[in-house]
Amino acid sequence: MRELNVSEIQKAVSALLIRANHEMGADVREAVEKARLEERSPVARFALDQICENYRVSTEKRLPLCQDTGMAILFAEIGQDLHIVGGDFTLAVNAGVAEAYQEGYLRKSVVSDPLYDRVNTGNNCPAVIHTSIVPGDRLRLLAIAKGFGSENMSRIAMLPPAAGEEGVLDFIEQCVREAGPNPCPPVIVGVCVGGDFEQAALFAKRATARPVGTHNEDARYAALEQKALDRLNRLGIGAAGFGGTVTALSVAIDFLPTHIAGMPVAVSICCHACRHAEATL
Amino acid sequence: MTRSIRLPLNEREARALRAGDSVLLSGVLYTGRDAAHKRLCRLLAEGKPLPFDLRDATIYYVVPTPARPGAVIGSAGPTTSYRMDSYAPLLLAHGLRGMIGKGYRSPEVIAAMQAHGAVYFGAVGGAAALIAGHIEASEVIAFDDLGTEAIRKLTVRDFPAFVVIDSLGNNLYETGPAQWRAP
């Protein structure tokens, strides 16, 4: 059985989070640059100019793209033939997070108690870790640095099946309309229809990391993505919420089997600084 | 057209600004978010002095990333403003002239801005490295124990922002989308 030492996992998690916070993915970058050309509102175009200029300054000065360097979200697909050795997997992931946020000059934004103390944990731990068991002997890591300006605007609805396609589109539109300028538009929207309450939210979050410009393999859902994107870009919110014709860069919709009595819809909203990085160990 | 604005702003200058104006801010700002606002309001309620002069001051809602060695500051873009809405009216009543953040404000904040002649600037969320380049000095001046959320005095030059809500209550977050919404 293939062995993987936890020290390798720590190292990879740290490198991924530093990279995600400093280098915007080419897919998002291209989408923002395209939006800048297509945007009709001068004020929104000015905001998009700043976002593009920010990529350059961030690289040049080795500064994080955004001051909210996020909670660290880790999706780990663990091959069932892989043996993780040398220590505790969860501790190793968190050690990688602590290392990244300290050595990468990233902001530590996690508090230990959400309601009463709200004391900063000092190392951005704990990470939110989602593991799944997959065939093979590899470990696939997806690290997302998730800012809470957009996370606070994410929503879930337990729609009745009769709500149909219109119900799904209306809910996606409602989430983005109500969020307005708050989540730093132009946004990237991850949606999951189906599953149950928590699975829908999880898959919607995962969908925000799907490359911009790719579509669901099911033609009906790919068409639904396009319909949703068209609707969002008619809202007029625009970059930074200043008013404009590009409110969303992408809508990625996933679907899952669900119960005969329900149709959960989760809408996970990500800002234009959609930061994630992947590695396979 | 972009206008250069000197900080601090007095009431007359603030009342002359209009929603939609593109501005470059130069001068002194104070940083603060949730925890610092809570403390400022408690000091005001207790009749105690504040750590800086609120009269005509501008507060920037930001907690930057840690500065690299030799750098003035880390990335420093705006945070979402509504979390400060419950505190802002009291600060406005005590002379706060400007606020910089991103996102919606409550009707209570907007009413207090109209009453006292204040302005809400919007910076572009996610332009944090770019904005850092417009900050020339940074110094923690109060609430050191709050760590990252301590109040800093910043000296800025040509900090890019927009007037989002003016002292008449005009709101770019309403007029902008209304202008560009498709039927």
Q: For A223-256, how does the pLDDT look when each residue is reduced to its tens digit (9 = 90+)?
A: 999 999 999 999 999 999 999 999 999 999 999 9
Enumerate the H helices of chain A as residue ranges: 6-22, 26-38, 42-61, 89-103, 148-151, 164-179, 197-207, 219-232
Domain A2-20+65-146: give its CATH architecture: 2-Layer Sandwich (3.30)
Residues A161-189 have a mean pLDDT of 98
Alpha-carbon distance of A232 to A169, in angstroms, equals: 10
Alpha-carbon distance of B49 to B35, in angstroms, equals: 17
pLDDT at B68: 95
* Residue B39 structure tokens: 């403390």
CA-based nearest distance B5→chain A, Å: 18
Residue among B126, B178, B182 whose CB faces A51 most closely: B126
Enumerate the H helices of B55-157 as residue ranges: 88-93, 107-116, 128-132
Contact yes or no for B175 and A63 at CB 8 A: no
pLDDT tens by residue, A149-160: 999 999 999 999
**Sequence-distant (≥ 6) Cβ neighbours of residue B105 within 8 angstroms:** B81, B82, B85, B88, B113, B120, B165
CA-based nearest distance B112→chain A, Å: 21
Contact yes or no for B122 and A242 at CB 8 A: yes
Mean pLDDT of chain A: 97
**Sequence-distant (≥ 6) Cβ neighbours of residue A214 within 8 angstroms:** A252
pLDDT tens by residue, B12-57: 999 999 999 999 999 999 999 999 999 999 999 999 999 999 999 9
pLDDT tens by residue, B150-160: 999 999 999 99
Contact yes or no for B80 and A182 at CB 8 A: yes
Q: Which residue of B has its CA nearest to A184?
A: B125
Chain B residue numbers with beta carbons less than 8 Å from the beta carbon of A63 are: 65, 68, 74-75, 128-129, 132
Domain ranges of chain A: 2-20+65-146, 149-274
pLDDT at A226: 98
* Residue B73 structure tokens: 């500051």
pLDDT at B147: 82
User: B2-180 belongs to which CATH class?
Assistant: alpha beta
pLDDT at A32: 97
Alpha-carbon distance of A103 to A47, in angstroms, equals: 31
Taking CA atoms, B23 is separated from A53, A92, A186, B55, B73, in Å, by: 17, 47, 22, 21, 22
pLDDT at A45: 96
Residue among B76, B132, B177 whose CB faces A236 most closely: B177
CA-based nearest distance A97→chain B, Å: 15
Nearest to A152 by CA among A90, A230, A82, A70: A70
Contact yes or no for A43 and B172 at CB 8 A: yes
Q: What was the ipTM of the complex prediction?
A: 0.94
Count residue pairs from A and B with Cβ separation < 8 A: 164
Taking CA atoms, B176 is separated from A89, A254, B19, B171, B173, in Å, by: 49, 32, 10, 8, 6
Nearest to A185 by CA among A266, A268, A244, A253: A244
Residues A178-201 have a mean pLDDT of 98
- Residues listed for chain A: 281
Question: What band does B98 get if pLDDT is binned at 50, 70 and 90?
Answer: very high
Contact yes or no for B82 and A182 at CB 8 A: yes
pLDDT at B92: 97
Chain B residue numbers with beta carbons less than 8 Å from the beta carbon of A106 are: 65-66
CA-based nearest distance A157→chain B, Å: 23
Q: Peptide bond preceding A42: is omega within 30 degrees of 0, i.e. cis? A: no
Contact yes or no for B77 and A236 at CB 8 A: no
Task: Count CB neighbours of A36 within 10 A.
Answer: 18
